[in-house]
Amino acid sequence: MTDHILRMSGITKTFPGVKALQDVTLSVRRGEIHAICGENGAGKSTLMKVLSGVYPHGTYEGEIHFDGERGEFGGIRDSERAGIVIIHQELALSPQLSIAENIFLGNERARRGFIDWNRTNYEAAQLMARVGLRENPTTVVSDIGVGKQQLVEIAKALSKEVKLLILDEPTAALNDDDSAHLLDLLRGLRDEGITCVIISHKLNEVTAIADSVTIIRDGRTIETLDMATDAVTEDRIISGMVGRALDNRYPPHEPTIGAEVLRIEDWTVHSPSQPGRKVVDGAALTLRRGEIVGLAGLMGAGRTELAMSLFGRTYGVNISGRVFKDGKPIEIRTVQDAIRHGIAYATEDRKRYGLNLIEDIKRNVSAAALSGLSRRGWVDEHEEYAVAQRFHKSMNIKAPSVSSVVGKLSGGNQQKVVLSKWILTEPDVLILDEPTRGIDVGAKYEIYTIINRLADEGRAVLVISSELPELLGLCDRIYTLSEGRITGEVPRREATQERLMHLMTKGQE
């Protein structure tokens, strides 16, 4: 019988209104590298949060057996004491402290209440040697690159005598050299007997390193494949990840496609936190009137970054490239410029960036187009009210009145307010980032209908979405983005989930 270090069975986790995990099973053998694959939102991270005690025992159903004992973790401390360490995609290091201090943070090497610095730095140096990090233990963490910070995290995990190391998208922010080094390190740890679970979108890495793969889709375990016995290819994993049929959740739409309205060429954006890293790399896009274009990409591919850098440089540094509006080159330096050139961007994080939640509907609707509603600085409140009333009706916003506070509306109705706000600026190009995130099915259909109507009015719509079926059901043409580069452009007729997923997981050659 195989020795399983971890067995999770029947895990069901419900959030208000959503079943994030449903009867999930995960078995990890001792000393293997186990990959978990699934689309964005499939439930991978939720599962790892259940395992590590972020969602404490009792808030989910099901059982966890870890290392021969029942795992009933009340918090991260409990799971760490049992030997489970999770390294999140966003690294959890304290940037102004040294490498050694970070490694022993919360676990200080102390004698009679005072920190023993010699021992701290000596033991840190030993751990750093184990993970192949050649730096001085007293170097401040913010002075080393992300790749090395990742190694600090692993050294920190080793200092806690980890038995099961979980890495969430460990290579998403790394360049090729750092990724290769990290994968080698994981193999080394496996040989030392440490079990690893990695969550990754990069299927080439998964096939290269994992001993087995569990595929999760829509909050359920689909299958667990053994790399040695099953002939596992990237295709095999992809079909497991996407395998579901499209039904008629999308209103029918016959596009009337007109002239080109927006074109970007050679668009390159650098990360503001790591100025050397290109988040968007030489991207080119063309949008035409009346057309709904999709932008597909996995998390971290640079979709939002592309959109926001285009929308008045609200993201990124060192932005270069050319933008053409109706064939003429334009410069967009601020959000006001973008609005003036007829570009609108509805953000993926509606609550934080898209709305003023403590204000009412009419003030949110008018916010981006106030100049059109006012004369010499004075807002025409009657006009504002009339405009808000019009959208209240035409967008079917379910609220008692236009004076209702936006924060109290449902997600779907909030999104309608966001769309109303942008439609009021009379845009030629609408960039909609995850327009149906956190919206229930009925409201989604309404949003799709609105998007179709916007296209029929002769506007170009760019839809960014993590849900491939949504893009396939809605868009006339789909671009795929991977690691900041446009890896494909597929017309609706030729698009399938498998084909898009291939393009989206295509690494740099």
Partner 1 sequence: MTTLSLGGGRAVPARYVPVLVTGCLFVAMFVVGGIRYEGFASGQVVLNVFIDNAFLLVVAVGMTFVILTGGIDLSVGSVVALSTMISASLMAGPGWPPYVVVPLVLLVGSGLGLLMGWLVHAFDIQPFIVTLAGMFLARGLCYTIGTESIPIEDATFTAFAQTRIDLFADLWISPSVVIAAVVVLAAAYVLHYTRLGRAVYATGGSEQSALLMGLPVGRTKVAVYTISGFCSALGGVLLSFYMLSGYGLHAVGMELDAIAAVVIGGTLLTGGTGFLFGTVLGVLVLGLIQTILSFEGTLSSWWTKIFIGLLLFAFILLQRLFSARRRP
Instruction: Summarize as ranges the residues that interact with partner 1 (CB under 8 A).
Output: 311-312, 314, 334-336, 338-339, 345, 347, 352-359, 363, 366-368, 370-371, 374, 377-379, 381, 400, 403-405, 407-408, 421
Token pair in block for residue 9: 């069975």
The Cα 302–Cα 67 span in angstroms is: 39
The Cα 99–Cα 94 span in angstroms is: 9
The Cα 210–Cα 32 span in angstroms is: 8
* Nearest to partner 1 of 283, 424 (CB atom): 424
* Nearest to partner 1 of 318, 356 (CB atom): 356
Phi, psi of 103 (to 5 degrees): -60, -40
* Nearest to partner 1 of 136, 371 (CB atom): 371
Beta strand spans in 101-218 (E): 110-111, 114-115, 164-168, 195-199, 212-217
* Nearest to partner 1 of 353, 445 (CB atom): 353
- The packing angle between helices 497-504 and 234-242, to 10°, is 120
* Nearest to partner 1 of 230, 440 (CB atom): 440
Smallest separation (angstroms) from partner 1 to the CB of 366: 8
Smallest separation (angstroms) from partner 1 to the CB of 379: 6
- Residue 184, C-beta contacts closer than 8 angstroms, at least 6 positions apart: none
Smallest separation (angstroms) from partner 1 to the CB of 127: 37
In b/e form, how buried is each residue of 196-210, taking b as 16+ CB within 10 angstroms? bbbbbbbbebbbebb
- Residue 301, C-beta contacts closer than 8 angstroms, at least 6 positions apart: 481, 482, 483, 484, 504
The Cα 301–Cα 464 span in angstroms is: 12
* Nearest to partner 1 of 221, 309 (CB atom): 309
DSSP of 285-330, one letter per residue? EEEETT-EEEEEE-TTSSHHHHHHHHTTT-S-EEEEEEEEETTEEE
Smallest separation (angstroms) from partner 1 to the CB of 348: 11
Smallest separation (angstroms) from partner 1 to the CB of 437: 16
Q: Most distant CA pair in the chain: distance in Å?
A: 80
* Nearest to partner 1 of 146, 335 (CB atom): 335
* Nearest to partner 1 of 160, 340 (CB atom): 340
Smallest separation (angstroms) from partner 1 to the CB of 369: 9
Closest CA to 466 of 488, 496, 436, 431: 436
Token pair in block for residue 60: 């989910």
The Cα 133–Cα 61 span in angstroms is: 40
Smallest separation (angstroms) from partner 1 to the CB of 357: 7
Smallest separation (angstroms) from partner 1 to the CB of 301: 21
* Nearest to partner 1 of 245, 358 (CB atom): 358
Smallest separation (angstroms) from partner 1 to the CB of 374: 5
